[in-house]
Amino acid sequence: MERQASGILWGDICYSTDKDTLITRENACLVWEDGKIAGVYDRLPEQFRAYPVEDCRGKLIIPGLVDLHIHAPQHPFRGLKMDLPLLPWLNTNAFPEEAKYQDPDYARKAYEIFAADMKKSGTTRACIFASLHLPATKILMELLEEAGLETYVGKVNMDRNCPDYLREGEDAPAVTEAWLEETAGRFSHVKPILTPRFIPACSDSLMEALGNIQKKWKLPVQSHLSENPDEIALVQALHPQSRFYGEAYDRFGLFGGDTPTIMAHCVHCPPEELEMMKERGVYIAHCPQSNTNLCSGASPVRQLLEAGLQVGLGSDIAGGASLSIFRAMTDAIHTSKLRAALLDRSLAPLTLEEAFFLGTLGGGRFFGKVGSFQEGFEADVLVLDESKIPHPQPLTLRERLERYVYLAGDDWITKKYVKGRCVC
């Protein structure tokens, strides 16, 4: 076992303990031992005196950010080709771009840029879709391992309703197993996640085989759910026996329960679907920027939180243009405000506390004890320098955090630790 680093940071510390509670501690020290948080203290306890200390006084210290949903092969066209809704956007933009990863040289070039961007971002944990290509997915895993983030990576499965040039054949389950075998035990920081693209792109026989692979390999699962009305109608036509979209995954044992599962979007879930997700502990990756760009809608995220569902944030590159989970926090607040103003005044918009929770602890829970500075949590830490956005008035620590989230994004991160290891 790799022995994890221990360390101490002095500075102004903010973290969530639940969706409503933001803890702020000015001029305090954060201590971790063997990669796990020991505590936050006003004075350094004697027993930690031997650990290396970094003086970050005047800077913000927060948990690393968690991106529950991102498509690595779509990174090169982020911020481009945004004028179509989901299904035509996939056919016209996403699929031709993903087909390029057939070529390992292109994949390496593109994934080097992606991994470098992820490394310098505020993200310390991510759940990542690759493309359907096995060699390219291995390259992505190698580059992410070097970057030092803790990630799940999925070789995508898709065998219908997609162009011939980006469609798997009957050997799709065998290729997925080959991918699992070839990468097993090779990485410390990158783990595999089973990734049926979404129900419209996966035949019943493929889904059945993936259900068996999940049981054999005990893998977590990621996919898409109830993102867009046309997509939902297509699922209904393909699975007339299912009462709702999620049941089409559930038929194959790929919808939570013993299978840790993330479903991206969940903008238009009917009540029975939400009930099943709650019962099964399915995580929702709320991707507000993508939902706006692709005209998918505005998620009732307040309702999801109040119903006790597990929710985190996703950048959904390249449906979303920005890799920044700070930006996802403000986008989540903005869309919840528009939803409240235009659609449903009974749903209060998200607060800063809630949005910050979603981007840290909300998504972090998928990885275990991640996304907070409570004792025993894994030491994923960001140090943020806001001195470049000067202000004449005194600000509370909460106000400084709010300003940083809205104004600075990933621009002024000075240090990033994952499980106590400094990665940049």
Give the residues lining the site for Fe ion (CB under 5 A).
264, 316
Residue count of the chain, please give it.
424
Which of 192, 319, 349, 409 touches ligand GUN by CB under 6 A? 319
Enumerate residues 76-115 that contact ligand GUN by CB under 6 A: 86, 90, 94
Task: Give which of ligand GUN, Fe ion, none residue 323 binds (C-beta under 5 to 8 Å, depending on kind).
Answer: none
Q: Which is nearer to ligand GUN, 90 or 140 (CB)?
A: 90
Task: Give which of ligand GUN, Fe ion, none residue 130 binds (C-beta under 5 to 8 Å, depending on kind).
Answer: none
Residue 286 Rama label (left phi>0; alpha psi -120 to 50; beta): beta
Residue 268 binding ligand GUN, by CB under 6 A: no
Task: Give which of ligand GUN, Fe ion, none residue 197 binds (C-beta under 5 to 8 Å, depending on kind).
Answer: ligand GUN
Residue 349 CB, shortest distance to Fe ion, in Å, is 24
> 104-120 and 134-147 helices cross at what angle (nearest 10)?
30
Residue 339 binding ligand GUN, by CB under 6 A: no
Residue 316 CB, shortest distance to ligand GUN, in Å, is 5
Distance CA 357, CA 312 (A): 8
Residue 413 binding ligand GUN, by CB under 6 A: no
Containing 203, the helix (H) or strand (E) segment is: none
Residue 197 CB, shortest distance to Fe ion, in Å, is 9
Task: Give which of Fe ion, ligand GUN, none residue 94 binds (C-beta under 5 to 8 Å, depending on kind).
Answer: ligand GUN
Residue 316 binding ligand GUN, by CB under 6 A: yes
Residue 78 CB, shortest distance to ligand GUN, in Å, is 12
Contact 102, 110 (CB under 8 A): no
Distance CA 194, CA 88 (A): 25
Distance CA 421, CA 156 (A): 30
Distance CA 196, CA 232 (A): 16
Residue 341 CB, shortest distance to ligand GUN, in Å, is 25
Give backbone dihedrals phi and psi of 27, rounded to 5 degrees, phi first: 45, 55
Distance CA 152, CA 192 (A): 5
CB atoms within 10 A of CB 345: 9
Distance CA 254, CA 250 (A): 5
Which of 25, 71, 75, 419 touches ligand GUN by CB under 6 A? 71
Here's the x/- map for ligand GUN, 281-300, by CB under 6 A: it reads as ---------x----------
Residue 120 CB, shortest distance to ligand GUN, in Å, is 24
Q: Which is nearer to ligand GUN, 94 or 413 (CB)?
A: 94
CB atoms within 10 A of CB 233: 10
Count of residues interacting with ligand GUN (CB under 6 A):
11
User: Is there a cis peptide before residue 5, judged by omega within 30 degrees of 0?
Assistant: no
Distance CA 87, CA 199 (A): 13
Q: Which is nearer to Fe ion, 28 or 317 (CB)?
A: 317
Q: Which is nearer to ligand GUN, 227 or 386 (CB)?
A: 227
Contacts for 92-96: CB closer than 8 Å, 24+ residues apart: 93/318, 94/318, 95/162, 95/163, 95/165, 95/166, 96/163
Residue 197 binding ligand GUN, by CB under 6 A: yes
**Which residues contact ligand GUN by CB under 6 A?**
71, 86, 90, 94, 197-198, 224, 227, 290, 316, 319
